[in-house]
Amino acid sequence: MKLILLKCVTDMVKETIELESEEDTRSLARSLTSLLAPGHVLLLSGDLGAGKTTLTRYLCQELGIDQGQVASPTFTVIHEYHGGRIPVAHVDLYRLGPGADVMDLGLYEYLERGFLVIMEWAEFMTEALEYPTVKVHLKLLPDGTRLAQLEISSS
Ligand SMILES: Nc1ncnc2c1ncn2[C@@H]1O[C@H](COP(=O)(O)OP(=O)(O)OP(=O)(O)O)[C@@H](O)[C@H]1O
Ligand SMILES: [Mg+2]
């Protein structure tokens, strides 16, 4: 995997990287944790099975959260993980579908309380959350390689 994530003075960084294995996903998670802080949002989008939960799991591991806690909250929509460097609210909009109304999910309360919000199926959300945001779009290629398209804004 060829990637050096820099804290940049420009407004937006866009980068596409190849994830040939879960080890590459783990490296990406490690790089992302250095950019993510309390009150930040990580939006994950992409195909079924593209690796959104896997990336979330490695990120949580990097933050010191017990991996056993981390499972996709498909039915409950949100899981909270404590015990790491930053508390995490893990959101999965899959069950809500396109045009998901996230206003009742209490996301702003989580962000105000210093949680990192990690959201799977973020493409289903129509509004933007006005908090510092990193976007990762994952694409699953026929040979099993994943492409991760990153969009990092400084505000
Ligand atoms: N970089 C990778 N290389 C190889 N296999 C991977 C990689 N990332 C994830 N996988 C595997 O792909 C499968 C699906 O991954 P995962 O559940 O993370 O996808 P997802 O995007 O969360 O799926 P869903 O759309 O159902 O939420 C798992 O078996 C996981 O181990
Ligand atoms: Mg998932």
CATH number of domain containing 97: 3.40.50.300
> Which atom of ligand 1 is the closest one to the Cα of 120?
27
Task: Return the ligand 1 atom nearest residue 146 CA.
Answer: 1
User: Cα–Cα distance between 87 and 18 in angstroms, integer?
Assistant: 28
Domain contains 70: yes
Percentage of the chain with pLDDT > 90?
A: 79
Whether residue 88 is contained in a domain is answered as yes
| Residue 6 covered by a domain | no
Q: How many CA atoms lie within 13 A of 138 on its CB side?
A: 28
Q: What is the pLDDT of residue 2?
A: 46
Residue 3 domain-assigned (yes or no): no
In a domain, residue 2? The reply is no
pLDDT, position 38:
98
What is the number of domains present in the chain?
1
Q: Whose CA is nearest to atom 8 of ligand 1?
A: 51
- For 31, the domain range is 12-153
What is the Å distance from ligand 1's center to 121 Cα?
13
**What is the model's pLDDT at position 72?**
87
Residues of the chain falling short of pLDDT 50: 2, 7-9
- The predicted structure's pLDDT at residue 30: 96
Residue 61 in domain: yes
The torsion angles phi and psi of 62, rounded to 5 degrees, stand at -60, -30
Residue 7 covered by a domain: no
Q: What is the pTM of this model?
A: 0.93
Residue 56 φ/ψ, nearest 5 degrees: -60, -45
Residues with CB under 6 A from ligand 1: 19, 21-22, 24-25, 48-54, 72, 120, 146
Half-sphere exposure of 16 (CA within 13 A, CB side): 6
Q: How far away, in angstroms, is 93 Cα from ligand 2 center?
A: 10
Residue 46 burial (C-beta neighbours within 10 Å; 0-12, 13-18, 19+)? buried
Ligand 1 atom with the shortest distance to the CA of 19: 1
- Asked whether residue 29 is assigned to any structural domain, the reply reads yes
Q: What is the pLDDT of residue 68?
A: 87
